[in-house]
Homo-oligomer: A and B are copies of this chain.
Amino acid sequence: MSNCEQCIVRQFNSLKSLTKEELIRISGCKTSKTIKKGQLIFDEGENVNGVYCIREGICKLTKLSANGRDQIVKLVVKGDLMGQRSLVSEEVTNLSATALSEMEVCFIPKHEIMADLHKNSNFTFDVLQHMAKDLREADNVIVNMAQKSVRQRLAEALIYIHRTFGTTDEGMLRVILSREDYANIVGTATESVIRILSQFKKDNLITTKGKQIRIEDLEALKHVS
């Protein structure tokens, strides 16, 4: 069993604000899991009962809309925490989490970390800061969804994934999503995504190779969005 104290991933999230003693305790009670691509980690309406710390891999947080379509609300990667919101609000989760790649995660049970959230004010404040940042980000998403065209939103989604998750050696976007996933980020029909990507290809903004996408002209793409 690996050790939280020496875990590099911790540096990227609020757990860095825990004391040495707290970390040792957390380390002792956490469980590590391997999650396969496509696997559901938790489902909307479930009690999450703890916090996930992502050591490796990527997953999507989705919410089912009234019309029966999933909306991807956030992509969560290595270094991120998942489940803090439900922890704080003491409610069932409003989102589902599904692995987009093979993942390595650590699960910290609620009862072990809840006390720290009340007692260690550095930790509480750090969680608070992350949440303030998420909320600001959510404002931006709301404005984009409300005011921009599907074409603009798709361009932006590509830029976001490029900026946030980077590219492979061949220049392909590291995160590989299906056209349906893109549709669920942008909030449109799968066919529309396919159509607009085809248009982007014709305009030499991107190239594709199966599901892989390479951005050829980032500036032009920024200009679209």
Contacts and interface: CB of A to CB of B under 8 A. Distances in A.
Interface in A132-185: 132-136, 138-148
A142 B147 contact: no
A148 B187 CA distance: 9
Contacts of A69: 147
A118 interface: yes
Contacts of A71: 142-143, 146-147
The residue among A69, A125, A136, A142 with the most chain B CB atoms within 10 A of its own CB is: A142
A127 to B, nearest CB: 6
Contacts of A119: 121
Interface stretch (A17-25, A88-96, A199-207): A88-96
Contacts of A146: 65, 71, 145, 186-187
Contacts of A139: 63, 73, 94-95, 138
Nearest to A95: B139
A85 to B, nearest CB: 5
A145 B145 contact: yes
A117 B82 CA distance: 24
Q: How extensive is the interface on chain A, given as a class?
A: 35 or more
A144 B73 CA distance: 11
Contacts of A131: 128, 131-132, 135
A67 B124 contact: no
Interface in A102-125: 117-119, 121, 124-125
Nearest to A64: B143
A66 interface: yes
Contacts of A95: 139
A129 interface: yes
Contacts of A138: 135, 138-139, 142
Contacts of A187: 145-147
Q: Which 7 A-B pairs have the closest CB atoms?
A: A146-B187, A145-B145, A138-B138, A65-B147, A88-B132, A71-B143, A89-B132
6 contacts: A65-B144, A65-B147, A71-B146, A88-B129, A89-B133, A135-B138
